Every structure is written in structure tokens, then in C-alpha cells.
Amino acid sequence: MVKTAWRILARAMKTKSLAVNPRNIRFIGDNPIISDDVSRKNLEEAAQTVRQSGQVVAFPTETVYGLGGSALSDDSVLAIYAAKNRPADNPLIVHVSSLDQIERLILTKLKKLPIVYEKLVETFWPGPLTILLPVEEGSLVLKLCTAGQDTVGVRMPKHPVARALIAMSDTPLAAPSANASTRPSPTEAGHVMFDLDGRIPCIIDGGPCEVGVELTVVDGLSEPPMLLRPGGVSAEAIKQCGGGNWENVVLAKKTAGKMEAVKTPGMKYRHYLPTAKVVLFVGCGNGEKSVKEWVSRNSISDFSKVAVLRGPLFASAEELGLSGAVERDFGHTATEMAFRLFKLLREVDDLGVDVILVEGVAEEGDGLAVMNRLSKAAFEIVSS
């Protein structure tokens, strides 16, 4: 197994895995009812931990696993940045479990969500959508969490474990994805353990995440409104939702220079990188011509060090002239590809391959989020 250099840093603590069964959690209003003792005890322990200043807990959401700490504590936010090795100018999304929490803890003056979000929130919350809210003067959400921006990103997750953890701690949780910075986002508890073992006190294991890529981030405070990061809710669904000026939503650009001031600071960092090099093939049909050319141009001879992620069109590794390569089914639809993307990148990387050849998908529906992540992960993009 390949270890990134920084993982070998001294391990300060033992990381506990706390099993919680999401199927045993239901809600009456915003209150979680947990029907098995182990899940209840483990969630209580995690809620207790995350309430403490300076403590963090990894937990499942419907998109990817998050690394949460109190958004109201500088020490907790610092602990998140430190555990992930994350640049401090990249703001964190605040996770809440109810609208009441937003009114009590985030919009203490305004009280109500800006009207532009009403329809979106009604349609997609709880769910994989983050909205940007204004940071009020004297806000309880601290500068460290927003990286000094005048907006704060807020999400209400649908995953019962995430919702229960936030409700039980009554703490809005600042939470980035629970991977080490630059690594693919984690969609299973084991991915978090691989990246952060010894660096955080505990991981709630609630099984695999349903969506597999991160959520959509929108800014309705700008005119026209902007889609800052495509994700679990598609651009088409946002346009159709109505309310405000959402049918004219503008897509932010995918990447930015290191010194460029951008709306989403996360855009300027390399992201989603396995150790192996990712080569993305766009519009290359069944891949035969483009993959064969790429392999010969790069003088690749040991195919056991090559992985192929086949989408709906790519031929088999053998037909691509790569007998002996690692081959994985990337899925037949963009939604399946989103679900499998990060898991497969980690899985084939762990087998010690040098390159991962990946079939791209059209940038529509969930394909937009898949291609956004893949183009950031890619060392090279080959288009026909």
C-alpha cells in the first residue's frame, strides 16, 4: 500500500471507529429517535466529543464523509484544518440540522433565510445543497470558519447520522470532506481511517455514502446567481426549481490561479489526487484509437501497472490492447459514475498502479459534477 509522506507523521492519538446504523434512526420533527443501543451510545459519545472546543469527529453525509467540529469554536476549526493539512484560506461549510438552528445561531439578526433561497431550500433541504448566507456583524460563526469571507456556506444534510449528530450536540458543524487535503474525498469510513488514522479521535461508521461526490454550492446573493461547485443537485434541477433568478444561474469557472481571488477558494487547489496519475479521456468513443495512441506515445509496456475505469462506451482492457491491466466498471450512467468515482480512484490506487485511464462523460445532469472532479484530478486530459 502506498503511503503519502505526510501520513507517516507522528500519530498523536488512537482513532476510534463508532458504528451507527442509519436505518435505526428516525425523526419526529427535528428530534432523532434511535432504536438500537449501540448506535445511540456511539452517537451520544460523538455528540459529546464534537461539542467540546478543539475536538473533531468524522461522520457520514449523503454526499461524502465530513470532518466536523463546532463552527462556533476557533479551536475546533483549527483542529479541522490541522488534521486535514488544509490551507487556511479555504472556508468551511456549516452543517445544521434545522432551520431553527440557522435562526438561533447563524442569522441571529435577519432571522429568516433570504427570500431568493426559499424555493430551493423547500425543494432540496435536507439534501446535497449548500447556500451562501451573509455573515452578520458580530456573527457567532467565526472568521476562521469563513476564512474571512463575507458569506458563510450552510447545508442541511439528509443523512440520518449527520442530522442526528448535529441535533444531539445542538452544534452547527463546520465540516469539509474528511480526506487529507489533496486526496480523493472519502465515501466510506475506511477511506477516512486510511487518511486520518491517529489524527482525529473518532470516525462514525454509518456505511457508504449514497451520492458519492460532494454537494452543490450556490450563491444567490450575487446577481445573476452563481453555481460555484456542481454536485449532488444538478444545475438543471436548480434552473427548474424557480424562485429568484435561478433559471439564469451562471456556472463558476472550474479552476483558478494560485494568486487569483475567487468566490470559491477551493477552486485554486489541486484536488482529488490519488498517488497514481489520472488520464482523462473525453469524447473518445470506445477508446480504442485514443488509448492505444496514448499508450504508445508514453511507451507503456507493463500493463499490470495500468488501471482502466470503463464507463458506458469504453471497450474492455483486452480490446484496448491492455491485457493484464486492472479493469473496473465505472458505471453506465453519470449518477453511477458519481457514486463510484472516489471509491474506485482509491481502490485502484491501493493496488499500486502508476496510471489510471478514465472514461469521461457528457457534462450534463450528474455528469457535470463527475467531470468537474475528474478534470481536477487529471494529470492529463485527452480529447478526440
Instruction: Name the residues that contact ligand TXA, by CB under 6 A.
Output: 61, 63-64, 66, 90-93, 132, 146, 149, 151-153, 155, 175-177, 214-215, 217, 228-229, 263-266
Q: Which does 175 bind (CB under 5 to 8 A by kind): Mg ion, ligand TXA, none?
A: ligand TXA
Strand partners for 329: 310
φ, ψ dihedrals at 185, nearest 5°: -65, 150
Residue among 156 and 284 whose Cβ is closer to ligand TXA: 156
Residue among 176 and 311 whose Cβ is closer to Mg ion: 176
Q: How far apart are alpha carbons 62 and 80 in whole angstroms?
A: 20
Q: Which does 263 bind (CB under 5 to 8 A by kind): ligand TXA, Mg ion, none?
A: ligand TXA
Most distant CA atoms of the chain, gap in Å = 64
Residue among 211 and 306 whose Cβ is closer to ligand TXA: 211
At residue 327, what is the residue type? Answer: E
In the block, cell 479521535 appears at 201
Tell me how far, at minimum, the Cβ of 179 lies from ligand TXA, in Å: 8
Q: Which residues contact 308 (CB under 8 A, 6 or more apart)?
A: 291, 314, 317, 320, 322, 325, 326, 327, 328, 356, 357, 358
Return the HEC string of 301-328.
CCHHHEEEEECCCCCCCCCCCCCCCEEE
For the segment 161-200, give every residue that binds Mg ion (CB under 5 A): 177
Q: Which does 375 bind (CB under 5 to 8 A by kind): ligand TXA, Mg ion, none?
A: none
Residue among 201 and 287 whose Cβ is closer to ligand TXA: 201
Tell me how far, at minimum, the Cβ of 268 lies from ligand TXA, in Å: 9
**Cα distance from N-terminal residue to C-terminal residue, the chain:** 34
Residue nearest to Mg ion (CB): 177
Residue among 56 and 326 whose Cβ is closer to ligand TXA: 56
Q: How far apart are alpha carbons 151 and 23 in whole angstroms?
A: 35
Tell me how far, at minimum, the Cβ of 90 lies from ligand TXA, in Å: 5
Q: How far apart are alpha carbons 287 and 366 in whole angstroms?
A: 22
For the segment 14-33, give every residue that binds Mg ion (CB under 5 A): none
Tell me how far, at minimum, the Cβ of 375 lies from ligand TXA, in Å: 15
